[in-house]
Amino acid sequence: MNSKSTTFDLLLTDTARQKNQSSVTRSELLDFWNDRFEIPPKIFKEYTFWEKGYGKIWVFKGNLSKSIQIEALGLRFTTTNQKSWKPTTNAVQKFGHHARKNVLSLPPDQVLQFVQGAPLHMDWDGTPGYVVVRGNLSDHDIQIGVGLYSNGILHSQIPKSRQLHLS
């Protein structure tokens, strides 16, 4: 991978993988989304994925022919520099409606807790780890963000700056 963290490098498919390019491949990334959330790779057909800085993956609709040094390209998608890969809030808000596994649907009162960053105690029989947190607003499903479920607690991963302050 390019050492300059200002550079976006394209994630290539396994076969095209080159040395000194990205730290993960497109296929590994799409496998993760498919395994964890059952979002099939075809959903991302029009998108390319880019790494800027180790393990920080961005999603961009379209393609560019070469690595590029800019401030942003599409939106941050997944962090792969930790043991459990972690989707971003914005990625889940954008693509979470396709998820069919490891989705937690919260009732309205818990949605209000979750968006304020509060941990929620609950029983759930899914695999511990990152989950898509869904709610309902005016009879429509809403994709709120990412939660981390472990030991009977759902920890809100809504970034501090995005959390609501409701009285």
- Which residues sit at the interface with other proteins, rule CB under 8 A? 47, 59-62, 64-66, 68-76, 90, 93-94, 111, 115, 137-140, 142-144, 158, 161-162, 164-166
**Based on CB atoms, which residue is closest to other proteins, 67 or 128?**
67
**Based on CB atoms, which residue is closest to other proteins, 111 or 131?**
111
Beta bridge partners of 136: 141
Quote the tokens at residue 98: 């396709």
**Based on CB atoms, which residue is closest to other proteins, 34 or 90?**
90
Cα maximum dimension of the chain: 53
Smallest CA-to-CA distance from 36 within 77, 87, 97 is with: 87
Question: Contact, 59 vs 77, CB < 8 A?
Answer: yes
Least distance CB 72 / other proteins (angstroms): 4
Least distance CB 123 / other proteins (angstroms): 25
Least distance CB 151 / other proteins (angstroms): 26
Least distance CB 109 / other proteins (angstroms): 13
**Based on CB atoms, which residue is closest to other proteins, 47 or 85?**
47
**Based on CB atoms, which residue is closest to other proteins, 122 or 164?**
164
Length of the chain: 167
The DSSP symbol for 65 reads: S
CA distances from 60 to 11, 40, 47 (A): 11, 17, 5
CA distances from 113 to 6, 19, 90, 109 (A): 37, 45, 19, 7
Least distance CB 59 / other proteins (angstroms): 6
